[in-house]
Amino acid sequence: MSALRVVALCLLSAICSAPCAPSPLPELPVDSLRAPQVTYRWPIEGEHIVTSTFGEYRRTHFHAGIDISTGDATDYRVGAAGDGYVSRIRVMPVGYGKILYVRHSDGYTTTYAHLARFAPQIESRAELEQTKAGHYGIDIQCGQTDFPVHAGDLIAFSGESGTRSPHLHFEIHDESGNPVNPFLFPPLQIHDTIAPRVRGIAVSPLHPGATVDGAPGARLYRATPHDGTCVIGKPIVVTGEVGFSVDARDRIPGSRYTNGVYAESLTIDSTLCFSSRLDRTPWEEAHEIGLCYEPADRVGRSGRYAKLYMDSPNHLPFYAPRIERAGIIDESRFTPGVHRFRIICSDFSGNSETVVGTLIVSRMPGFTIRSVAESLYVHIFNPADARRILLGVRSPGANWSIRTFELGEGASDDVRLPVNLPGNLTARVQLENHWGTISSPQYLVPPATMSSPPSFSLSCESGTDYVEVRAKSDRSFCSPPVVTMTEGSARSSIVMEALDTDEYLGWVRPRASFQGVRHVTGDASYCAGRATASSEFALYPIIPGTRGTITFDRGRLSITYDSLSVLKPLLLQVNKSEGEDGPLYALSPADVVLGDGLTVAMDPDTVRPHQALFARSGSSWQLIGTPREGVGAARTGRMSGRLGEVTLLVDDNAPVISRLTIRQIGALQPRIEFRFRDDLSGVEYDDLKMYIDKVPVIPEIDGLRHRALYQVKEPLARGSHQLTIRLFDRMGNSSTAERRFVLR
């Protein structure tokens, strides 16, 4: 369990009051950013230009530091940011590349990543450890007396190890190991006069039946500059529960890149409903960044929208108020009508852009209809909510003919429409309120003779919190179908709303206490008959704080969870299909952010050599589980971050060594380079071995570019030499390349 789960950053003092505030969460202990004992200094020579800021979006984590520009060059001197000692030396083929950690007297640690090489004494220690380990990747823990440093002492040279472009990645971590924004320390701040730019906002329905501008999906809005403020010109009309999000980018002088935004806030009328400020992020729970942004399938791929609400339990310390469902706009907590909203996006220097607009909280009018003889009556639950009645009529095979009936002040709750409905007409009634919100339709369907019995079908689709149930018929329903869902011994009714005369839609929240198959049944009335339908689906809720194992497909797949596996109730579904080498299981919903993750085990029908468990949540497969001695045939691995697909794949293809070149640089000191690749399980970097005349040497490995190089340091003898390279993938497949070369 990470320290952030018991220690959190001081939250902003503004607490959102009604109408935005539900019950508060338990308070987290306070860990304020105190004044440091060390006066940190800029860690690299050259201009103070930052190309990436703290807390920016990365697909799997928050950006844990700042990226300092080196003008696409390498070998700038990197100095210790303060007095202390080198506490850790690490070399990785991917990720941070070559990285140093300096521990300071205030308990904080500064890190310096993507280095070209270390200062000579540190480089010698690293090379010695690589020789002892027999591979490139190392991780050395150092004592206080090994490499003491003073502020400004040379510790390394900047480079591009583990990254695609030269720069210095610089971080500061607190006593608990959590990243802290370097800009909080005055000597590390930069001169910035450029305000963030808001590219758009989004408003998303967060509950079945909620709407934005009359539609059930998210709506995007562009702001127009006006008198120093950006304005959303059209009022935004919402019903139910909705959430705001913003697509904003910042720019820092001297940099050609855009950056994330430091602080954001949403105010409605005079109430601060949500704010965030990136002073500190969690280290072990960094994947929870997925909770802070709208999924692409909700808002499209036109931008990256940061949520101005929090709809999931989490371990994030930087937003306020720290309450359940912070920032969610719920119509039940607002007075219906016009409200003003204000969104402010700021950078660390205080430059900001403001977006203002009008929010109309609307309530869907409720009503029922009935016919008496050829007359049509509409019973309105609250006449003050309704402005007009929309009546559509049509004869068989014709289009709808629409009439509108205005409702004046003091209208009765029981309205007889001044129309006659002959027996062959279908009627559709909707109510529109004062803000233009139109209700779901209700229908009166005329009697009809049937040449064949009616039929209808039920389909179910599980989402993050609810199951959607759709009823579809081959002819018009006479009344809403009666639909129920059975979960074990419990039964619940599902309210169905009309989409058309032959289609209805409803939602239900499954019981968290029941795992297994749900049975949905429906009974439909027609003007000349009845019909029934049924459907079923398997659903396995996983509740935070519980543990257990779920098995599927007669035990071929099992999923084990513990008390920290999920952040909120997960409505797990598993769908089986046939994959490349056997069964493939899709675990959904795919956009759920996990806690510590799930343990997945698959038992193969036939045990095959080089067979392993792979998972995919994006475009490529990742190896997560190989056979373990003495544990039987099952392949077991951990699925973290998000859900996706799992399957067993056979990887019996050897990795490839290519483009091997030997260049004689200087006298008898050749430079050896080669490329490598593996198409499935990936290269096992610790097992990449190089020998010159059977003597092991350690090449530099660039896993990002799939290349390795070795510069001979001590001159070789003149004459013939034998080069041997052995490369393994993570499944044990290997390749060998040999080359004889002559030095003259």
Q: pLDDT tens across 692-717, in order?
A: 999 999 999 999 999 999 999 899 99
Task: With cut-offs at 50, 70 and 90, classify the pLDDT of residue 6.
Answer: very low
pLDDT higher for 29 or 38? Answer: 38
Task: Reply yes or no on whether the pLDDT at 36 is more than 70.
Answer: no
Report CA 300 to chain centroid distance, whole Å: 14
CATH code of 226's domain? 2.70.50
Same domain as 350, residue 226: yes
Residues 6+ apart with CB under 8 A from 270: none
Tell which of 650, 667, 692 closes a domain: 650
Q: Final residue of a domain: which of 330, 361, 392?
A: 361
Structural element, H or E, at residue 299:
helix 296-299
pLDDT at 618: 81
Residue 9 has pLDDT above 50, yes or no: no
Q: Verify that 211 and 357 share a domain, yes or no.
A: yes
Do 643 and 664 reside in the same domain of the chain? no
Lowest mean pLDDT among 15-19, 229-233, 321-325: 15-19
Q: Indicate if 372 and 350 belong to the same structural domain.
A: no
The verdict on residue 239 lying in a domain is yes
Q: Average pLDDT in the 10-38 region?
A: 42
**CA dist., res. 315 & res. 286, Å (int):** 9
Please provide the average confidence, as pLDDT, over all residues in the chain.
90
Report pLDDT digits (tens) over 140-159: 999 999 999 999 999 999 99
**Is residue 69 included in any domain, yes or no?**
yes
347 shares a domain with 203: yes
450 pLDDT exceeds 80? no
The answer, yes or no, to whether residue 301 has pLDDT greater than 50, is yes
Has residue 651 got a pLDDT over 70? Answer: yes
- Which residues face 468 on adjacent strands? 461, 507
Confidence of residue 483 (pLDDT cuts 50, 70, 90): very high
Residue 669 to residues 134, 718, 724, Cα–Cα distance (Å): 21, 10, 17
Task: Using alpha carbons, list the distances in angstroms from residue 227 to 92, 195, 317, 349, 353.
Answer: 51, 15, 35, 22, 12
Alpha-carbon distance of 344 to 303, in angstroms, equals 18
Q: Specify if 614 maps to a domain.
A: yes
The CATH number of whichever domain residue 390 belongs to comes to 2.60.40.10
Neighbours of 42 (CB within 10 A): 18
In a domain, 19, yes or no: no
**If pLDDT is split at 50, 70 and 90, which confidence band does 302 have?**
confident
In a domain, 509, yes or no: yes
* Alpha carbons 457 and 507: distance in angstroms, whole number: 16
- pLDDT of 418 reads 86
Residue 152 is assigned to a structural domain of this protein: yes
The length of the chain in residues reads 744
Number of domains in the chain: 6
Per-residue pLDDT at 249: 96
Cα separation values, 56 from 176, 263, 309, 312, 702, Å = 21, 11, 18, 20, 25
Calpha distance 353→229 (Å, rounded): 7
For residue 225, say if its preceding peptide bond is cis, omega within 30 degrees of 0: no
Q: Which residues contact 570 (CB under 8 A, 6 or more apart)?
A: 541, 542, 592, 594
More confidently predicted of 608 and 486: 486
What pLDDT score does 2 carry?
37
Question: Average pLDDT of 475-486?
Answer: 94
Residue 520 sits in the same domain as residue 555: no
What pLDDT score does 39 carry?
Answer: 78
| Tokens 């937003």, residue located | 319
What was the pLDDT predicted at 661?
A: 95
Give the pLDDT band of residue 367 (cuts 50, 70, 90): very high
Order the strands of the 670-677 sheet from edge to edge.
656-664, 670-677, 707-711, 700-702
Evaluate if residue 358 carries a pLDDT over 70: yes
| Percent of residues in the chain assigned helix, strand, coil, to nearest 5 | 5, 50, 45
71 shares a domain with 212: no
Give domain status of residue 187, yes or no: no
Query: Which residue did the predictor score with more confidence, 625 or 118?
Result: 118
Output the pLDDT for position 410. Answer: 78
Per cent of the chain over pLDDT 90 is 78
In this structure, the answer to whether residues 355 and 484 fall within a common structural domain is no
Query: What pLDDT is stored for residue 664 in this prediction?
Result: 81
Neighbours of 59 (CB within 10 A): 9
How far is Cα 259 from Cα 304, in angstroms, rounded to an integer?
Answer: 12
Of the residues 361, 380, 397, which one is the last residue of a structural domain? 361
pLDDT score, position 493: 95
Shared domain for 341 and 486, answered yes or no, is no
Q: How far is CA 192 from CA 63, 250, 253, 385, 470, in A?
A: 20, 10, 6, 50, 54
For residue 592, the cross-strand partners are none
Phi, psi of 449 (to 5 degrees): -80, 150
- Confidence bin at 17 (pLDDT 50/70/90): very low
Which residues fall within 8 angstroms of residue 547, CB to CB, at 6 or more apart? 560, 561, 562, 563, 565
Range of the domain at 379: 367-444
For 565-602, how does the pLDDT look when each residue is reduced to its tens digit (9 = 90+)? 999 999 999 999 998 888 999 999 988 999 999 999 99
CATH code of the domain covering residue 690: 2.60.40.1220
Q: Are 322 and 228 contained in the same domain?
A: yes
- Could you tell me the pLDDT band of residue 534, with boundaries at 50, 70 and 90? very high
Same domain, 380 and 290: no
Q: Are residues 247 and 199 in the same domain?
A: yes
| Average pLDDT, integer, range 402-417 | 89
Angstrom distance (rounded) from CA 109 to CA 90 = 14
Q: What is the CATH number of the domain that holds 525?
A: 2.60.40.1930
The CATH number for 74's domain is: 2.70.70.10
- Answer whether residue 179 is part of any domain: no
Mean pLDDT score, 115-121:
97
Identify the bridge partners of residue 574 per DSSP, sorted by sequence position: 587
Residue 33 has pLDDT above 70, yes or no: no
Give the pLDDT confidence score for residue 5 in this predicted structure.
35
At 31, is the pLDDT very low, low, confident or very high (cuts 50, 70, 90)? Answer: very low
